[in-house]
Amino acid sequence: MAAGDELEQAGLDFDTAMRRIHVREADGRLVSGVPAFVVIWRRLPAYRLLAGGVERLGLTRPLEWGYARFAERRYRKRCRDGACGIGR
């Protein structure tokens, strides 16, 4: 399946997909931002403690605040540098 087809199936357009990290859970749910990192970390042995700590300490929301700002700046910089055209 082509990347564009997978994005369409997930209900994402290219720009939305490039702005933030997205992960599909085993049950099919699509998550983005810090919750997506937590999904990934839960599956990596060296990061499982980090995932648990973020969840137990209720850090998802404050980290999401910071990630949203970082991701937007990163997206704008990459587009300025011409990387946003990749995959189109």
pLDDT digits (tens, 9 = 90+) for 27-83: 999 999 999 999 999 999 999 999 999 999 999 999 999 999 999 999 988 877 776
Q: How far is CA 75 from the centre of its chain?
A: 12
φ, ψ (nearest 5 deg) of residue 34: -60, -40
Whole-structure pTM over 0.85, yes or no?
A: no
Kindly list the domain boundaries of the chain, sorted by start residue: 3-80
Secondary structure (3-state) at 31: strand
User: How far is residue 59's CA from residue 31's CA, in Å, rounded to a whole number?
Assistant: 16
